[in-house]
Amino acid sequence: MRRLRNVKIVATLGPASSDYKTIRGLFEAGADVFRLNMSHGTHDDIRARHAIIRQVEADTGRPIAILADLQGPKLRLGTFVAGAVELEDGAKFRLDLDPAPGEDHRVQLPHPEIFAALEPGTTLLVNDGKTRLKVDVCGTDFADCTVIVGGMISNRKGVNVPDVVLPLAALSEKDKVDLEFACQIGVDWLALSFVQRPEDVLEARRLAKGRAAVLSKIEKPAAVKAYDEILAVSDGIMVARGDLGVELPVYSVPPIQKRLVRGARAAAKPVIVATQMLESMIENPMPTRAEVSDVATAIYEGADAVMLSAESAAGKFPIEAVQTMNNVAISVESDPTYRSVIEASRVVARASVADGIVAAAREIAESANIKAICVFTQSGNTVGLVARERPRVPIIALTPLIETARRSCLTWGAHCCITEEQERFKGAVISAVRAARSEGFAQETDQIVLTAGVPFNVQGTTNILRVAPCDERLIYRADPE
């Protein structure tokens, strides 16, 4: 099953997409990666969805990536006597550790770590930023605030603290349990929430023990400031625009998105643009024109993947949402402007032999009549390097490791194939030719470019580039035993 576009589609599973028929329908409509949201559903629910994905994978013969999205710490208010209160602009309001139900002048904030980080002038956001408080006076167990933007707040509404780095780990106790569970059932990616510093990512990597790649969600101002350091220790990035738009001025999110995407591209690490991409399709069979433009913008920027959340997890039209995203991607990538934008933002990287090999592969493929770039890989890193070049020809990722094939499904343009382990280079050439022809990328009269590393089956050894005919007789004639 060959996709007709390079950008990948991540679809979140949920109540609207938990059975085999729907999940297979999502895959056939264009989903390349399935997201399991650990914030919703029991472990039994997650395990059942995971099993269905793997069944679809077996039935279709195509690798599929699974991403488990960890919840992260949740900062919430306590409860109110009346269930909710209306705060007026300019009113005084206290947050404290007292568990007594709140009234119109105070409520519990059961997070001493927040009080430890507050100082006068700090902004507190309640209910996705709809209500804003400014700290006047604070201590270890209270904060007296002025209401800057009023509104209705109710039981257990979320709280954001955008101005400070909170002394909180990105992994709660629930997250640690969920992480171990996800690794045991066999997910390919872990999405880490509430990242503020590179140490948060390193802790997740330590617990994952290489069983899954770690993707950092950039959703807090502190993560934006420390982006380069976080990117360096992450396997991938998610631009979580929903929380960014709460904690930062909404007009600052588009340039931040562009910077984050370009940074990940330069590092040859996959980057997902997420949140509210086709949100109106939760209720409607057609998106708005603004939503289509939003998806298109992420694709023009060179994102590896675009993501559906509630649209596919709880919406009325999950398969239609994937079809819409697929059609937008095909339309954008068919636009001549897309190639000029992508190539203008290409990063020139010549720090290693592998960098030079993949750059040469792209240049040869685009200057000659080459049908595909075939990449033999153990870890998937070389696939990322080739994808960074954003070549005009397809990328075929060949690996003997199903785990590598699955993880590479998140990488721009990668068509992943399982192949046998190779001991000799000629065998690798033959295997690449057969894959290119059987998968519909080339015919007997065509040529491919092949990159590989010798010795085979060793990570980090990409050191060979070969232009090969797709006629096996010519290969045997040129390379006799």
**DSSP label at residue 127:** T
Distance CA 452, CA 355 (A): 13
Q: Could you tell me which of 255, 257, 273, 208 has the C-alpha nearest to residue 234?
A: 208
User: CB–CB of 12/68 below 8 Å?
Assistant: no
Kindly report whether the peptide bond that precedes residue 455 is cis, defined as omega within 30 degrees of 0. Answer: yes
Tokens representing residue 272 in the block: 């997902």
Three-class DSSP labels, 318-384: HHHHHHHHHHHHHHHHCCHHHHHHHHHCCCCCCCCHHHHHHHHHHHHHHHCCEEEEEEECCCCHHHH
233 burial (CB, 10 Å; 0-12 / 13-18 / 19+) is middle
Q: How many residues does the chain have?
A: 481
User: CB–CB of 5/298 below 8 Å?
Assistant: no
Question: Residues near 261 by Cβ (< 8 Å), separated by ≥ 6?
Answer: 239, 271, 273, 298, 301, 302, 303
**Rounded to the nearest 10 degrees, how much is the dihedral formed by the CA atoms of 355, 433, 329, 377?**
-40
Question: At which residue do the structure tokens 């890193």 appear?
Answer: 381
Question: At which residue do the structure tokens 């010549």 appear?
Answer: 350
Distance CA 268, CA 94 (A): 47
User: CB–CB of 156/77 below 8 Å?
Assistant: yes
Distance CA 391, CA 337 (A): 15
**DSSP label at residue 80:** B
Tokens representing residue 167 in the block: 């002394």
**Helix (H) / strand (E) containing 411:** none
Catalytic residues: 35, 76, 217, 275
Question: Residues near 14 by Cβ (< 8 Å), separated by ≥ 6?
Answer: 37, 40, 41, 310, 312, 313, 314
Distance CA 458, CA 125 (A): 50
Phi, psi of 349 (to 5 degrees): -125, 120
Question: At which residue do the structure tokens 């106790």 appear?
Answer: 173
Residue 444: CB atoms within 10 Å:
12
